[in-house]
Structure 1
Amino acid sequence: MKKNTGIQNAFKAGVWYSISAIAAKSISIITTPIFTRMMTTSDYGLAATFSSWYSIFLIICTANLSYSHSRGKIDFQNNFVKYVGATHTLSYLITGIFSAIALVFISPVSKALDMNPLLMVLLLLYLFAGGTVNLAQSENRYQYDYKKNIFITLFTTVGTVAFTFLFLIFIKENRYYAKILGFVVPAILLAGWIFISELQKKAFCINFEYWKYGLRISLPLVFHTISLNILTQSDRIIINKFCGNDAAGVYSLIYQYAMLVNIILNAINESWNPWFHDTYHEKKYNSINTNIMPLNAFVAYVCIGCITVGPEAILILGGEQYLSGKNCIAPIVLGLMAQFLFSHYIILEVHHKETQYTSFGTIVAASINLVLNIIFVPIFGFTAAAYTTLIAYLVLYLIHLFITKKMLKINLYQDFKLFMWFIIVGVYAGVSNMLYSSIIPRYLLLIFVTIIFALIFKKDILSKLRRNNV
């Protein structure tokens, strides 16, 4: 009964995470054209730069401590709330030191980041608030409290849109402030609510044992996360340099479309990871292997669907001028599939607290991607960047496979069966690409594959639906 309840909770969480993530992304996509018309390109660019710096510095200010929550829930089972409180406290301490240095040297720091001092202050406030929200979401995830995380996701999205519109009404010059305040204000409101909640639980504490434990797991992953950001961002920078703004714009839209798949994959991971850690700790390895196959089948089907409808989706999102990038869809989606597959191995590294190897793989993959982009993008154009990214993710997959099997001596999965899903999506992508000019055969192929999937996984689908209705 306990095992069924666990996987049922994970399934429910996955469904609702996916729905909320898609809803949030839909709101963002719908409102983006409105904001771009209310702001100058310069204003929009400054807001995007602010957001990019926030993403990078948040990794440093939180020291990726949320990664340690998965194992901390097991090792500090009776004191998990205190452990999370200690990670909050350490995050505040790191952010405080970072802020103090930034404020003392605010003039050169502002110049280096290409932001004025007021934006620097807003960035520091955003880092305090964002770190609080990030760690709270992680706690909710591992407590299976998905309702709170859905609330946070939707509040952040709706709040950002609402406050941005509100500030755009009153701010007539330098309208990038409106967009940035639209990020910052909802985060501060959420952080205030979370802070009060943590105070009421008396969670905040200074505990060197907890800090040492958390940093041992999470600190090596700082380089992993930053390198992963470089891996995903370097394509557009190099395309812009060698192929121009238009090519970078086409590639960015294609990548934005493919990232809709990533939203679903992240939602699946958010629900799968807590269940995996609990089940793996209880040594229920058969249960993991039983459930991982339909999970990967579902991910493969999502990728297949994204590849199939790609040309029509691009036509709707951007128009005919963006269809030149349709051949980038399949390799980008396959790269995301490879990323999902190697996450199965990273989770083992985190569980065994052996994250010192994780960053090495990501740094190698990011370097390979960068070098291949510099070599092939000038020769073959922006489409080459999609394939170099796919190669980098496959290298990353092989590195993590090597780490878990050869270095950590862990043989949990049926590795070939897992990788078969990548091969299936790859073969489908090849066939679908040949049919990109013929819409009817392409959609008939999707219907045929849907029937095959439904027949193979009929029992799993019905079982999950019954549990969800109980």
Structure 2
Amino acid sequence: MSKRIKIKEIGAYFLANSIGAITPFVLIPILTESVTPSEYGQLAIFQSLIFLYTALSGMNSNGYLLRGNYGSSDEKKSEIIASILQLLIVAFLFLCLTSWAVKELFAQPSLKYSWLYGCLVVSVFNFLIQMRLVQWQYTGNVGCYFVLQVALSLVNLFTSILLIKIFDTSADGRVLAMVISYVLFGGGAFFLVYKQYLKLSVLSKINKSEIIKVLKFGVPLMPHVIGIFIFTTVDKIILGEYVGYSTLGVFFLAYQISSLYRLIFDAMNKVYTPYLYSVLSSPTAPKKLALVRVSYMLLILISLFGFVGVWGAENLLIYFVDEKFYEASIYIPLLIASQCFGGAYLLFTGYLFYYGKTWLISKVTLFVGLLNIVLVIFTIPYYGAFGVAWVFLISKIIQFALVCYLAKREAKLSWDKNNYV
């Protein structure tokens, strides 16, 4: 693949993910005007739960699907996809029963109980969308990837505006808009996957050996998912309960703005991962040297993004949010720095995924997530939301350092270019 084509791919992935990021950003002025900071805090919990339910319902199996594409026949791919969909159905039913069993916990103002089932629906259909995108990512079908991402974002955006502003549904309108958008496009994604890879006979057949392989890949990542959930949600729940959901709403706005960088780095990683896997599948000294150089360039690029973002986001905030959210500016620099370390972390997780060392990622994430909560509990009484931001940065630095060390150890890859001369 030529460098020109690779640059076009990066640009397409970047643009698709950036347009996806536009949805929450365009909605910021509308939401900050139409909802209270407390309701904004409740939406924070809702959006964080979507991540957890997507991972639990899909058993982290899209990562297995991407890896399974390499060297697999079409028949084998069909078996993998069928097994993943069967597990998705079982997991969804289990999560529905679990949600019903714990409904009494939602007597608190942290989240409306009806929203919980909205999370489940959005999560399942989001997983189906990601399954379709993974296949297009592997085949290099950037055009279809781009169209699906952009169409989903635009429908989500305009449905949200319609429900919030025209029908005056406040925060409930945002939740309903997400449910409508993801059901529509998730159903379409499933149809496309079924049409290309599946037959009813394959989907209805239980392939125990393939299901076991999917579980062996995904289950060790469960602590990783729980750790990320701790990172993205539990600290916010603690913050909301301790200092109030109004403060949480302001803090989450800052976190949401910083999350633009996570989307940018995810786009980078979507292009970088197939390249990384291709090098590791047939390693030679020239390929390893090129990989090291690319890694250094991406780390420098991530750092530059961080420096620009800290200045820009903090100064531009007052122009597109309601004044009751201006306080969010004090949290933005720390949160953007945290996202940059998260972007660097993504570059090195690919090594551990490729070598099947997912349990190492789980251990690191769970350890750092638990450390994050302990530090949050101790700092909130003294520093409030500002302490949570500092703890998030410290946790991200530790997470990056540990995964970087483990990746270097497992891949046996020297970061000194002179070793390849």
The 3 A distance-change label for structure 1 pair 143 and 401 is same
Pairing 1:26-425 to 2, within 5 Å after superposition: 26-35=22-31, 37=33, 49-76=45-72, 79=75, 81-98=77-94, 101=97, 106=100, 108-113=101-106, 122-167=118-163, 177-203=172-198, 205=203, 206-245=206-245, 247-283=247-283, 284-318=287-321, 326=329, 328-406=331-409, 408=410, 410-414=411-415
Matched, 1:22 2:18: yes
CA distance in 2: counterparts of 1:135 and 1:225, whole angstroms = 18
Measured after TM superposition, the shift of residue 359 of structure 1 is: 0.8
Deviations 1:313-344 (A, max 9, x none): 23324477766665543332222222222223
Whether the aligned pair in 2 keeps the contact of 1:24 and 1:154 (CA below 8 Å) is: yes
CA distance in 2: counterparts of 1:416 and 1:393, whole angstroms = 27
The 3 A distance-change label for structure 1 pair 310 and 62 is same
The 3 A distance-change label for structure 1 pair 124 and 259 is closer
Measured after TM superposition, the shift of residue 224 of structure 1 is: 0.7
CA distance in 1: counterparts of 2:152 and 2:254, whole angstroms = 25
Whether the aligned pair in 1 keeps the contact of 2:376 and 2:387 (CA below 8 Å) is: yes
The 3 A distance-change label for structure 1 pair 11 and 202 is same
* Residue identity opposite 2:196 in structure 1: K
* Residue identity opposite 1:208 in structure 2: K
CA distance in 1: counterparts of 2:174 and 2:240, whole angstroms = 25
Deviations 1:380-425 (A, max 9, x none): 443332222121112212322343344x3x32251899xxxxxxxx
> Which stretch of the first structure deviates more once superposed, 155-164 or 248-257?
248-257
Measured after TM superposition, the shift of residue 350 of structure 1 is: 0.6
Deviations 1:46-73 (A, max 9, x none): 6655444333222111001011123212
SS of 1:181's equivalent?
Answer: helix
* Residue identity opposite 1:282 in structure 2: S
Measured after TM superposition, the shift of residue 96 of structure 1 is: 4.7
SS of 2:69's equivalent?
Answer: helix
CA distance in 2: counterparts of 1:413 and 1:77, whole angstroms = 34
The 3 A distance-change label for structure 1 pair 11 and 215 is farther
CA distance in 2: counterparts of 1:38 and 1:243, whole angstroms = 22
Whether the aligned pair in 2 keeps the contact of 1:311 and 1:323 (CA below 8 Å) is: no
Using CA pairs below 8 Å that are at least 6 residues apart, which structure has the higher relative contact order?
Answer: 2
Percent identity, aligned pairs only, is 17
Q: TM-score, normalised by structure 1?
A: 0.75
CA distance in 2: counterparts of 1:33 and 1:323, whole angstroms = 12
* Residue identity opposite 1:330 in structure 2: P
Deviations 1:77-122 (A, max 9, x none): 55564255235423433235326635xx84x444334578865665
CA distance in 2: counterparts of 1:384 and 1:89, whole angstroms = 42
Deviations 1:199-231 (A, max 9, x none): 322425443333222222222122212311211
Whether the aligned pair in 2 keeps the contact of 1:84 and 1:135 (CA below 8 Å) is: no
* Residue identity opposite 1:378 in structure 2: P
Query: 2:8 is matched with which residue?
Result: 12
CA distance in 1: counterparts of 2:141 and 2:280, whole angstroms = 20
Instruction: Flag the structure with larger Rg.
Output: 1
Deviations 1:170-225 (A, max 9, x none): 967x7655433311222222222222222322425443333222222222122212
* Residue identity opposite 1:404 in structure 2: A
SS of 1:353's equivalent?
Answer: coil
SS of 1:223's equivalent?
Answer: helix
CA distance in 2: counterparts of 1:317 and 1:46, whole angstroms = 21
Q: TM-score, normalised by structure 2?
A: 0.83
How many aligned positions are there? 407
> Which stretch of the first structure deviates more once superposed, 44-53 or 212-221?
44-53
In structure 2, stretches of 5+ residues that fail to align are none
The 3 A distance-change label for structure 1 pair 145 and 384 is same
CA distance in 2: counterparts of 1:398 and 1:281, whole angstroms = 25
Whether the aligned pair in 1 keeps the contact of 2:314 and 2:333 (CA below 8 Å) is: no
* Residue identity opposite 1:197 in structure 2: L
* Residue identity opposite 2:233 in structure 1: Q
Deviations 1:262-321 (A, max 9, x none): 221111111211221122212132231232222222222111111232431233244777
CA distance in 1: counterparts of 2:146 and 2:87, whole angstroms = 23
Measured after TM superposition, the shift of residue 354 of structure 1 is: 1.3
Whether the aligned pair in 2 keeps the contact of 1:254 and 1:314 (CA below 8 Å) is: no
CA distance in 1: counterparts of 2:18 and 2:125, whole angstroms = 24
The 3 A distance-change label for structure 1 pair 119 and 326 is closer
In structure 1, stretches of 5+ residues that fail to align are 418-470
The 3 A distance-change label for structure 1 pair 113 and 142 is farther
> Which stretch of the first structure deviates more once superposed, 50-59 or 72-81?
72-81
